[in-house]
Amino acid sequence: MLRTRNTLPEAIRSRSVALLNRHLSAAIDLHGQLKQAHWNLRGPSFIAVHELFDKIADEAQAYSDKIAERAAQLGGAAEGTIRVAAERSFLLPYTLGVAGEKEHLAAVSGALAVFGEGVRKAIEEAAGFGDADTADLFTEVSRGVDYELWLVESHLGQG
């Protein structure tokens, strides 16, 4: 840990950095999965879903930045290479190949749901060990992921 004038105790900052890095890997993986779906999508609503996946991929990339920058603010190092993300992500691997809208929508909604669940657990974990600001960051991410999941599920017509 780097020295910082951040007043959180180093033990809390270290725990937060580890938690943030776990979710950084998943956010990077989520971004990659969304781009995979975006590139390989086929179907009658192609342009709408294609653009939706691209928009959500941009949001996932923004989550990565916020998570990584919080780790740095706390005096830690963001561990966000593709290799690290692939090794540490808690998301299920994305099935490769061209597929129809429904298949990609189902896969993307599953990835968003798992990521959202992990983020909600991170809120509780960070709050539990005393880092309200990291919990707040994860709350912000959670709200965004829930919104994006709603958009994707709306295309599936589930009611």
* pLDDT tens digits along 77-112: 999 999 999 999 999 999 998 889 999 999 999 999
Write down all domains in the chain, each with its CATH number in brackets: 10-89+98-156 (1.20.1260.10)
What is the dihedral angle through the alpha carbons of 45, 46, 50, 56, rounded to the nearest 10 degrees?
Answer: 20
Token duo for residue 107: 């896969």
The kind and range of the H/E element at 42 are strand 41-42
For the chain, the farthest-separated pair of C-alpha atoms sits apart, in whole angstroms, at: 55
Task: State residue 44 phi and psi, 5-degree precision.
Answer: -65, -25
* pLDDT tens digits along 104-152: 999 999 999 999 999 999 999 999 999 999 999 999 999 999 999 999 9
Q: Which residues pair with 100 in a beta bridge?
A: 42
* pLDDT tens digits along 31-86: 999 999 999 999 999 999 999 999 999 999 999 999 999 999 999 999 999 999 99
The angle that helices 46-73 and 101-128 make with each other, rounded to 10 degrees, is 20
Question: Contact, 56 vs 107, CB < 8 A?
Answer: no
Q: Are strands 41-42 and 99-100 parallel, antiparallel or unpaired?
A: parallel
